[in-house]
Each structure stands twice: as structure tokens, then as C-alpha cells.
Amino acid sequence: MALNSLLITGLLLSVLTFFLTKINKKLGSYFTIFSTLFVLIFLFGYMNDVGTVFNLGSFGGFSLQLVSSNYGWFFSIIMVLTYFLVSFFNPYWIEKMVNPASYNMLYVFSVVSTLGIFFAKDFLTLFIFWEMVVWSSLFIIPLGKSRKASVVYYTISTIGSFSMFFAVMYLYSLFQTFDIESISQNLISSPNTAVMAYFAIIIAGLAKLGIFPFHTWLPIAHGNAPHTFSPVLSGGLVKMGAFIALLVSAIIPTSQIFSNHIRIIGVPYENYIIMVLGAISIIVGTLMAIKQEDAKRLIAYSTVANGGYILIGISLLDQVGFAGGIMHIFNHAMASAAMFLAIGAVAYRTGTTNMNELGGLIKKMPVTFAAYLIAIISIAGIPPTSGFASKWLIFQGLASKGLMFIAFATFFGSIGSFMYVFRPLATVFLGQLSPKHKDVKEVPFMMQIPMLVMSLLTIYFGVFPSEMLGFISKIQASLNIVPISVEGSKIYSFSGMWDSLVITVAFVIGFIIAALIFYTHKKAQPVDQMNTYTSGEFIYDPESYHYAKNYYAPFERLYKNHPSVEKFYDVIALRVNEFGRLVRSWFFSSNASVGVFWISVIITIAFFWGDKI
């Protein structure tokens, strides 16, 4: 099926999903699985198709066109795969949706619209589909717990959208075209114009990717969105921001355009500024994630930090770090979505995501626990998961260029991630089981499928990262970046060679030794939960044994008085609100005397200066 036909068919499927859900909620929810699978199957046909142009429509002197590309396919397949796997949760949550028909329709609509972004041949097509995704997700988020989350999400998205719109119109006024390739060629001879366009467009990407200082929408939107949409927000939709970063950094060749600009440690200052923002995001996201009491907000801040890794990797534009940044897009999509699904599964059975109210679910929900465990190992960058591969490559890229401040931030983020991902592990799955959860059981097998598939993909590409890096090398070649060197399981960087199979075998041997020690030595004597005491006193409340609240309190005290961009935004919002009330009191008051006053002013102006206005 032609790419334009696939996109239009997908949009029609979203409408059909709406009517099927109206007939039967379950039927419509199962149809979201079919719709995303339909798109996924046909999308595989474009894996190696590059340069084919598809016309979506024409009006006036403008055309909306798509063009196949290996980087567009890479982003699309991650997005559709994430939506497809997460859709297995939809039938079980649909009864709790405020408006199930709208949810299912917008779910399919949003994923299909992203194809228009990733395969856009021109900025006009990209911007139209960008807004379609923003608006569809805008209406889904309030179907969760909070309408305020939608307001915050829309406000930040609007900043990005207006910035991109300004840049697109500015470039059109200069070059009389929306075509991305033509604009790229023109910008090579207009590097100063490219600076403005670069920053104006990438603001949209930073806002969507959740990069500091635009990160504030992630914990609010992800934390309050429906449990079935938080995984695609974090695993999928934020990657639109990564695509914009790729667009203005590599597809539009900034390494060539900015080659004569001021360089900081060998990097054009424009790219360096973006990398610094990525580094700050890693630190801010990590520190804020450690403080969270709600598991979904914790994972959302983790997304802020991992967005920084992706942005830094892409901005490096080199052989190794760039490959790591691109690979981390997939790794974070799988790990983040799996973490959200695991917490969503816990919420499905317990009704809460507050870690203070949970504990001891490892024996009740072993599959969910295993999925969460594998996901956090990947997020923390531990072999043999795929998260180790991408983070290692980003480290190598930074070290090869001597970018030590940014390298420190990435190292800090990796160490910090051990702390924040461990907290849900300890407080949700380990510790003492609350008596009110004694009857909890594992989620249905259909809900386990996406968690199992994501876990297997995380391990597979950790053991065999060259399978993905081989395709990424093609992306690099198409963008005139030196491709990463891959030979079997061996991946080469400036500092040497890394063999993923050797590392995997070493970890397996270590695991076997640990298992032998565990099973051959005397086991601990199991005792009843209440058969213990502390300070000579028995504790009769089992929840007193579960230390979840203020888990990292001593560490948090080190930065409890940190500056807060959230408070700064709150002050701005308060002032805007006050100004709005002032305007309403002056121009929209129900007081008759105010109306008479303004009518008198208008008549006076018209009488004395009407002929001059």
C-alpha cells in the first residue's frame, strides 16, 4: 500500500473506531489493536525504501507531500510499535474512560498523524500533522484525572507550535518554498538566517521532548493522563521532539552550515547550547525523579532525563555518539512504556500509583515485577539490556570530543537513575504487602503480552545491538555522517572495541555463580511477617514495616532549597490571571456604570477624532 494511502486509510480507521466503540466499548477497544497492527504491518514495507515521493493533496499553489526515508521509517516504526503494544491495555481500561469512543478514535488518530510528521517532504505538511497530533493528545489527556494537565500541556505545546510556525513562514518568505531539501540548500549559503531558523524550530522539539526549561508539562500530563495513554506519551509522542532535533541538526546539515561559526570545544556554539540544555535536563530530571511519591510522576521525570541523553547524542553529529542517541530513542520507548505499563497494571489491581500505599506485590504480580525490573535495568544503562548499549555509545562520543561537563551530567544521570528506578522496585514490589492487597492477583494474560514483548526486545537488542546499529549506520550514511563501525557482535569506537556477546556471557556466568551460591547455601529461615520486634517492642501494624515515605530524605535535603522553574512559571501564571481579571472587570463587567463609561469614551473618540482614525 502506498504511503499516502496508508496514512489516509489509518485516519479513516480512527473514524471507524469511534462508531464501533459507540456500538460496543470492548469492540472499539479491540479495534484499536487491529488498526495499529494494520499500520504496523504495511509500514514494514518501507523499511528500505528511500526517496519515493507521495502526494497527499494540492490546493492553490501548495502541495502536501510525503517522502520515504530510513530515518522517517525508524521513528515511525518505534511510534506505531509502541502504540500497538500499549493498545492491549485498552479493552481493560475502557470501562473507566469518561468518553470511550473519543478516546479510541483519538488514540488511532494520533498515531497515524505522526506518520505525516516523520515522512513529511515539506514544512507545511510537517506543521499540519504536528498540530493534528498535539490537538488529538490534548483531548485525550483530560480523560484521565486532571483537566489542568491539558492546560499545561497545551500552553507548552503552543509555545513550540508558534515558534515553529514563525520559522516556517519566515523561511517561506525568504525562499518561496516549504520543501525541506530546497530550504536546506538555501540555508547553506545563508548561515546567519539558519541560526534564527535553527533555534526557532528546535524550540518546538525541546518543548515536545520535555527539555529544560520546557519540561514542566511532562510530570503533570504523564502523571494525570489515562493509564493507557501515559506509556505512549512517554514512549512515543515525546520522540516527535527528537525528530525535530534530528531535522534541524542533521537533515538540515548544521555541521556544514555552522562550520565557520564560533566553536566551543570543537562544537558550533549553536549545537553546544542545545547540548547544555540536554545536560541540564538530565540533572534536573534525575533530582526531581528521586523526590516523587507517585510512581507515574517519577517515570515522567525519568523521561525528562532520558530526553537529555537523546538530545545530546543527536547534537553530537558524530560517528558513535549520534548512533547512541538514535538508538536510545528506541531503548527509552520500550523501557519507559514498559515501566508505565507495569505501574498501570499495578493501578489496575490496586487502584493507586502512590508508592506510599503499595508494597510486597512481587509474589502477587510476578510478570509485572519482571517487566518493571528489566525496564529499569535498561533505563539505568546496565548490560545486557539495550539501554547500556546506547548510553555507552553516547559516553564514547562525549569522551572523544572532550566534552567533560556534559559527560559529567550524563554520568550523574546514570548514577542517579539507579536511585530513582530502585524506589518503585523497593516500595511497590518489595517490602511488606498491605493487608488490603492480600487478594490482588496478576493482570490478565493479554495485559502481560506488551510487557513481555517490550522486555524481550530490550534484552534482544542489548545482546545483539549490532542488529539495530547496522540500520542506524544507513541513516548516518544518508545524512552524510560517518557510519558507526559494526562487525558481528563487535562495535568499534575511538577508544577501542566492545563485544556485546562477551559482556553478555560474563553476566550470565556471574548470574549462574550467584544462583549456585544462593541455592547451595543454607537458606534464611522464613518467619511470619509479625513474628519480629524492634527496640524490644512488638509492632502490630504490618504497614509500619514498609518504609516508603521520604525514601531518600537525607539525599533530598541536600537540594531541598533548589531554584524552581515551576515556581517561576506559577508566578507568571498568577500575574497573567490577575491581568485577565483586570481586563474582564474593565471591559466585560456586568456593572451598567462601567458599560456607560466605555460607551461614553467611544462616542467621545468618534466625535473628536473619528475622521482621523
List of residues 6+ apart from 464 with CB closer than 8 A: 489, 500
In a domain, 466, yes or no: yes
Closest CA relative to residue 394, chosen from 334, 456, 463, 332? 332
In a domain, 41, yes or no: no
> Which of 562, 577, 599 is the last residue before a domain boundary?
562
Average per-residue pLDDT for the chain:
87
Same-domain pairing of 546 and 486: yes
Read off the amino acid at residue 159.
Answer: I
What is the secondary structure of 295-315 as a DSSP string? HHHHHHHHHHHHHHHHHHHHH
> Which of 527, 544, 562 is the last residue before a domain boundary?
562
What's the pLDDT at 528? 67
Cell, residue 280 = 541540564
Which secondary-structure segment (H or E) carries 221? helix 217-224
Beta-sheet pairing, 62-67 with 485-487: unpaired
Question: For 88-112, b where at least 16 C-beta lie within 10 A, e where not — what string?
Answer: bbbbbbbeebeebbbbbbbbbbbbb
Same-domain pairing of 507 and 588: no
What's the pLDDT at 539? 67
List of residues 6+ apart from 141 with CB closer than 8 A: 149, 150, 153, 221, 224, 225, 229, 233
Matching residue, cell 478514535: 105
Residue 176 three-state SS:
coil
Number of other CB atoms surrounding residue 136 within 10 Å: 22
- 257-287 pLDDT tens trace: 888 888 888 888 888 999 999 999 999 999 9
Alpha carbons within 13 angstroms on the beta-carbon side of residue 422 total 9
Residue 353 three-state SS:
coil
Over its C-alpha atoms, the chain yields an Rg (Å, rounded) of 26
Cell, residue 159 = 509555545
What's the pLDDT at 530? 66
Residue 260 dihedral angles phi and psi, to the nearest 5°:
-100, 10
In a domain, 574, yes or no: yes
Most confident stretch, 85-99, 133-147, 335-349: 335-349
Sheet holding 496-499, edge to edge: 485-487, 490-493, 496-499
Instruction: Note down the domain range covering 592.
Output: 566-610
Query: How far is the first Cα of the chain from the last one, in angstroms, to the nearest whole number?
Result: 59
Same-domain pairing of 597 and 507: no
In a domain, 83, yes or no: no
Same-domain pairing of 592 and 558: no
Q: What number is the average pLDDT over the span 8-31?
A: 91
Q: How far is CA 523 from the centre of its chain?
A: 43
Closest CA relative to residue 326, chosen from 339, 311, 305? 311
Read off the amino acid at residue 387.
Answer: G
Same-domain pairing of 461 and 508: yes
Residue 482 dihedral angles phi and psi, to the nearest 5°:
-60, 120
What's the pLDDT at 216? 85
Matching residue, cell 513562514: 169
Q: Is the distance from CB of 491 to CB of 466 less than 8 angstroms?
A: yes
In a domain, 318, yes or no: yes
Question: In the predicted model, is pLDDT for residue 578 greater than 80?
Answer: yes
pTM: 0.90
Question: In the predicted model, is pLDDT for residue 400 greater than 90?
Answer: no
Question: In the predicted model, is pLDDT for residue 603 greater than 90?
Answer: no
In a domain, 531, yes or no: yes
- 224-246 pLDDT tens trace: 888 888 889 888 888 899 999 99
In a domain, 205, yes or no: no
Is there a cis peptide before residue 384, judged by omega within 30 degrees of 0?
yes
Closest CA relative to residue 118, chosen from 45, 52, 182, 66? 66
What's the pLDDT at 264? 86
Question: In the predicted model, is pLDDT for residue 389 greater than 80?
Answer: yes
Q: What number is the average pLDDT over the span 501-520?
A: 88
> Which of 562, 586, 602 is the last residue before a domain boundary?
562
Same-domain pairing of 302 and 363: yes
What's the pLDDT at 145? 66
Question: In the predicted model, is pLDDT for residue 47 greater than 80?
Answer: yes
Closest CA relative to residue 17, chosen from 107, 132, 120? 107
Read off the amino acid at residue 494.
Answer: F
Number of domains in the chain: 2
Q: Is the distance from CB of 318 to CB of 481 less than 8 angstroms?
A: yes
CA distances from 83 to 69, 77, 212, 456 (A): 21, 10, 26, 17
Question: In the predicted model, is pLDDT for residue 153 greater than 90?
Answer: no
Closest CA relative to residue 87, chosen from 346, 344, 468, 376? 344
What's the pLDDT at 613? 65
Same-domain pairing of 571 and 451: no
Same-domain pairing of 556 and 572: no
CA distances from 575 to 157, 158, 580, 583 (A): 20, 19, 8, 12
Q: Is the distance from CB of 377 to CB of 417 less than 8 angstroms?
A: no
What's the pLDDT at 304? 92
Matching residue, cell 553546544: 272
Closest CA relative to residue 304, chosen from 231, 230, 214? 214
Same-domain pairing of 275 and 366: yes
Residue 275 three-state SS:
helix
Q: What number is the average pLDDT over the span 206-220?
A: 87
Same-domain pairing of 495 and 385: yes
What's the pLDDT at 365? 92
In a domain, 183, yes or no: no
What is the spatial distance between Cα 556 and Cα 288, in angstroms, rounded to a whole number?
9
What is the spatial distance between Cα 74 and Cα 329, in angstroms, rounded to a whole number?
10
- Give the per-residue SS3 of 453-476: HHHHHHHHHHHCCHHHHHHHHHHH
- 543-556 pLDDT tens trace: 666 667 777 888 88
Same-domain pairing of 570 and 558: no
- 434-451 pLDDT tens trace: 888 888 899 999 999 999
Q: What number is the average pLDDT over the span 8-15?
A: 91
Same-domain pairing of 364 and 335: yes
- Band of the pLDDT at 150, cuts 50, 70, 90? confident
Beta bridge partners of 497: 492
Q: Is the distance from CB of 416 to CB of 306 less than 8 angstroms?
A: no
